[in-house]
């Protein structure tokens, strides 16, 4: 029998059941909570009735608190819905929000009547401390919990940030809390049973546009090789995983620290995917590349962002366009597919920069036709979301909409959940984008993805992909992207996959 506080942890629906991967945030929190109490997980990605099921779980067992993981964008509306339902039925149970949305929009989240506490950044230490303090009704203790934002006498209080750690190194995550963890293994381009895993946490860079920089403020913590070995051993031998998608924010860190990890991975030989930077890959030694090949890296998602060196400097990306060109060639030589992401339609020189990016993508495709391309609209973070140190050092430029009016960001979760702000968060639309350019971008993307269907698409038959590619050939060759109605029609039948929405 378990003693101590009980916490219900909820992952509101964000993706289809097919695309559901381990809710790693909740698994990490659950592992931490088990030390002093117990927890139950409801995952809205596999449990489509997660609101009713959360209420039922609370009826069956009294919980001391509910923790909800919230990413901005499409997860927000279900997060609001489940929080409201819980507040109505169980008004006395405290509700804690954590994850990227409340970390980046703390005041908006805490202003909602159904959010009592926000944990900013990592939750492994703050959440158990918070739940213990709530149980003892200990306000003095609340004031000492790092990373906590809370309400005191009607005002919002932000405690100082907490340092990042990798938490307990003794145990594998409590995957059994998800029912049968094997149902989270999926057929992907990497293998028949791909598993999601996070080895290191954070990122040492501070790109101004990035939610990861806003969360971690340039900090990263790598795991010990033994820990990675233990985790991979469990995933491969106990769960039967045959490939791994690493969710690490930025996989390749300093080579000397990476080599012991790559050595472990080279022993497991599980094909893998990760987020990486062009400079890190270009700087790897021949020895490291040997390990990378042996460990079977299949695809690296690289933030190329822009062909404009000046813009890359301004956003503090720290990489250059020539490095993007070099890395696609390097990847080709090593049998790794580069998946390049770009941010088009920036707030300044919107059209020109977009066309320039299209041309750059064509050049990269010539160097390495296997390069995959993901196109986002550049939607800078609201100033208030950026990490406090970066805000002070480098204030962002003001943003204006099409009418020249300043862009005013939402101040409540409900506003952030409106379609136009969901699109903003998903980098799918921006207030300075006119209909003509929006259409132009959409047309380019249609022609490009038909001309070069992604290898990540296992759903569409290869004859259909070949057919689409042939149909799109002349448009791509002559740059005639406008109104590709025939491709849209054909694509509606084939339904090519969109990894930027669904994940691998
Ligand atoms: C997996 C993932 C997804 C999956 C969702 C999971 C699934 N398939 O089941 C999918 C693919 C659906 C997805 C979608 C999106 N994602 Co996403 N996603 C991720 C990813 C790669 C991993 C998340 C993860 O598991 N991390 C590991 C865990 C351990 O860390 P964590 O989630 O941060 O949790 C810790 C803390 O945040 C905190 N915490 C979290 N929840 C809670 C709850 C409580 C109560 C507490 C106390 C603490 C707490 O404690 C946890 C443990 O330390 C991250 C990048 C990353 N590496 O984190 C991006 C990331 C979170 N996604 C992001 C975004 C923006 C999106 C989108 C909304 C937009 C987009 N275009 O990418 C889309 C929506 C797409 C659409 N149109 O529908 C951004 C968020 C940044 C921001 N600006 O807000 C990230 C950081 C990617 C990036 N580099 O920009 N995503
Ligand atoms: S864009 Fe990539 S490198 Fe830059 S801060 Fe974000 S995760 Fe790190």
Count of residues in the chain: 504
Reduced to 3 states (helix: H, G, I; strand: E, B; else coil), residue 307 is coil
Distance CA 379, CA 425 (A): 7
Closest Cα to atom 2 of ligand 2? 250
The verdict on the CB of residue 14 being under 6 Å from ligand 1 is yes
Closest Cα to atom 22 of ligand 1? 247
What atom of ligand 2 comes closest to residue 216's alpha carbon? 5
Closest Cα to atom 76 of ligand 1? 501
Q: Out of 397, 425, 454, pick the residue that ends a domain.
A: 397
Q: What are phi and psi of 10, to 5 degrees?
A: -125, 135
Asked whether residue 147 falls in the same domain as residue 230, the answer is: no
- The domain spanning residue 67 has which CATH number? 3.40.50.2300
Tens of pLDDT, residues 186-208:
999 999 999 999 999 999 999 99
Give the per-residue pLDDT at 411. Answer: 97
* More confident position, 2 or 120: 120
Q: Out of 140, 158, 176, pick the residue that ends a domain.
A: 158
Task: Give me the number of domains the chain comprises.
Answer: 2
C-alpha 278 – ligand 1 centre gap (Å): 22
Pocket of ligand 2 (CB under 6 A): 203, 205-207, 210, 212-213, 249-250, 277, 303
C-alpha 24 – ligand 2 centre gap (Å): 20
Q: Which two tokens stand for residue 220?
A: 């990263």
173 pLDDT exceeds 90? yes
444 pLDDT exceeds 70? yes
Give the per-residue pLDDT at 308. Answer: 98
- Assigned domain for 289 exists: yes
Q: Which positions ≥6 away from 438 have C-beta within 8 Å?
A: 429
Asked whether residue 15 falls in the same domain as residue 86, the answer is: yes
Distance CA 259, CA 222 (A): 12
Distance CA 402, CA 347 (A): 10
Range of the domain at 280: 185-397
Asked whether residue 149 falls in the same domain as residue 195, the answer is: no
Asked whether residue 127 falls in the same domain as residue 239, the answer is: no
Reduced to 3 states (helix: H, G, I; strand: E, B; else coil), residue 83 is helix
Tens of pLDDT, residues 175-191:
999 999 999 999 999 99
- Assigned domain for 137 exists: yes
CB-hemisphere CA count at 13 Å for 295?
25
Distance CA 337, CA 344 (A): 22
59 pLDDT exceeds 90? yes
Tens of pLDDT, residues 341-353:
999 999 999 999 9
Give the per-residue pLDDT at 151. Answer: 94
121 pLDDT exceeds 50? yes
Asked whether residue 261 falls in the same domain as residue 301, the answer is: yes
What atom of ligand 1 comes closest to residue 74's alpha carbon? 78
Tens of pLDDT, residues 275-326:
999 999 999 999 999 999 999 999 999 999 999 999 999 999 999 999 999 9
Closest Cα to atom 58 of ligand 1? 249
Mean local confidence (pLDDT), 219-234:
95
Contact predicate 69/98, CB 8 Å: yes
- Assigned domain for 273 exists: yes
The verdict on the CB of residue 21 being under 6 Å from ligand 1 is yes
Contact predicate 476/448, CB 8 Å: yes
Confidence band (pLDDT; 50, 70, 90) for 170?
Answer: confident
Asked whether residue 14 falls in the same domain as residue 125, the answer is: yes
500 pLDDT exceeds 70? no
* More confident position, 169 or 210: 210
C-alpha 335 – ligand 2 centre gap (Å): 24
- Assigned domain for 315 exists: yes
Q: Which positions ≥6 away from 343 have C-beta within 8 Å?
A: 209, 305, 306, 376, 377, 378, 427
222 pLDDT exceeds 60? yes
Mean pLDDT of the chain: 94
C-alpha 212 – ligand 1 centre gap (Å): 9
In this prediction, what percent of the chain has a pLDDT beyond 90? 87
Q: Which positions ≥6 away from 177 have C-beta within 8 Å?
A: 27, 30, 39, 40, 41
Asked whether residue 207 falls in the same domain as residue 136, the answer is: no
Q: What is the DSSP string of 173-242?
A: --GGGGSSGGGG-B--SS-SSEEEE--SEE-S---TT-HHHHHHTT-EEPPPHHHHHHHHHIIIIIS---
Asked whether residue 283 falls in the same domain as residue 150, the answer is: no
Closest Cα to atom 79 of ligand 1? 211
Tens of pLDDT, residues 362-416:
999 999 999 999 999 999 999 999 988 888 788 888 999 999 999 999 999 999 9
Closest Cα to atom 21 of ligand 1? 247
Confidence band (pLDDT; 50, 70, 90) for 497?
Answer: low
What atom of ligand 2 comes closest to residue 212's alpha carbon? 6
What atom of ligand 1 comes closest to residue 422's alpha carbon? 68
503 pLDDT exceeds 80? no
- Assigned domain for 431 exists: no
Give the per-residue pLDDT at 392. Answer: 78
In this prediction, what percent of the chain has a pLDDT beyond 70? 98
Confidence band (pLDDT; 50, 70, 90) for 1?
Answer: very low
- Assigned domain for 370 exists: yes
The DSSP bridge partners found for residue 6 are 38
C-alpha 244 – ligand 1 centre gap (Å): 17
Asked whether residue 197 falls in the same domain as residue 146, the answer is: no
- The domain spanning residue 336 has which CATH number? 3.20.20.70
Distance CA 233, CA 237 (A): 6
Confidence band (pLDDT; 50, 70, 90) for 81?
Answer: very high
Q: Out of 369, 397, 425, pick the residue that ends a domain.
A: 397
Mean local confidence (pLDDT), 464-486:
92
Closest Cα to atom 1 of ligand 1? 247
Asked whether residue 152 falls in the same domain as residue 255, the answer is: no
Asked whether residue 152 falls in the same domain as residue 235, the answer is: no
């Amino acid at each position: 029998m378990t003693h101590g506080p009980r916490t219900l942890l909820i992952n509101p629906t964000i993706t289809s059941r097919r695309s559901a991967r381990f809710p790693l945030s909740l698994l990490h929190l659950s592992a931490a909570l088990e030390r002093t109490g117990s927890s139950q997980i409801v995952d809205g990605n596999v449990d489509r009735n997660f609101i009713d099921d959360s209420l039922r779980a609370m009826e069956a067992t009294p919980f001391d608190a509910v923790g909800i993981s919230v990413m901005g964008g499409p997860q927000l509306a279900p997060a609001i819905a489940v929080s409201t339902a819980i507040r109505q039925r169980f008004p006395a149970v405290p509700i804690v929000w954590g994850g990227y949305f409340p970390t980046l929009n703390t005041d908006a989240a805490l202003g909602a009547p159904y959010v009592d506490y926000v944990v900013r950044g990592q939750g492994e230490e703050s959440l158990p401390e918070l739940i213990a303090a709530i149980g003892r009704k200990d306000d003095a203790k609340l004031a000492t919990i790092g990373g906590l934002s809370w309400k005191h006498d009607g005002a919002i209080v932000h405690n100082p940030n907490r340092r990042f750690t990798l938490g307990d190194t003794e145990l594998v995550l409590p995957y059994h809390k998800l029912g049968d963890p094997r149902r989270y293994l999926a057929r992907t381009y990497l293998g028949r049973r791909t598993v999601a895993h996070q080895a290191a946490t954070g990122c040492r860079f501070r790109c101004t546009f990035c939610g990861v920089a806003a969360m971690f403020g340039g900090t990263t913590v790598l795991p010990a090789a033994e820990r990675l070995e233990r985790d991979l051993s469990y995933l491969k031998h106990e769960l039967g995983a045959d490939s791994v998608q690493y969710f690490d924010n930025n996989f390749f860190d300093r080579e000397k620290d990476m080599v012991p990890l790559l050595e472990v991975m080279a022993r497991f030989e599980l094909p893998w995917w990760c987020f990486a930077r062009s400079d890190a890959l270009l700087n790897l030694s021949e020895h490291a590349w040997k390990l990378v090949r042996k460990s079977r890296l299949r695809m690296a998602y690289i933030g190329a962002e822009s062909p404009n060196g000046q813009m890359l400097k301004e956003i503090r990306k720290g990489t250059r366009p020539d490095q993007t060109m070099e890395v696609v060639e390097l990847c080709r030589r090593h049998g790794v597919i580069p998946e390049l992401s770009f941010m088009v339609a920036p707030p300044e020189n919107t059209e020109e920069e977009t066309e320039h990016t299209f041309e750059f993508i064509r050049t990269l495709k010539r160097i390495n036709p296997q390069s995959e391309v993901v196109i986002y609209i550049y939607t800078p973070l609201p100033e208030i979301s950026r990490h406090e140190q970066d805000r002070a050092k480098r204030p962002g430029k003001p943003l204006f909409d099409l009418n020249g009016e300043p862009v005013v960001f939402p101040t409540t979760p409900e506003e952030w959940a409106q379609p136009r702000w969901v699109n903003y968060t998903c980098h799918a639309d921006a207030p300075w984008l006119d209909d003509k350019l929006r259409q132009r971008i959409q047309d380019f993307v249609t022609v490009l993805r038909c001309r070069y269907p992604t290898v990540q698409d296992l759903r569409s038959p290869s004859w259909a992909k070949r057919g689409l590619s042939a149909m799109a050939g002349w448009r791509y060759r002559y740059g005639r992207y406008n109104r590709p109605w025939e491709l849209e029609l054909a694509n509606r039948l084939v339904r090519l996959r969109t990894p930027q929405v669904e994940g691998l």
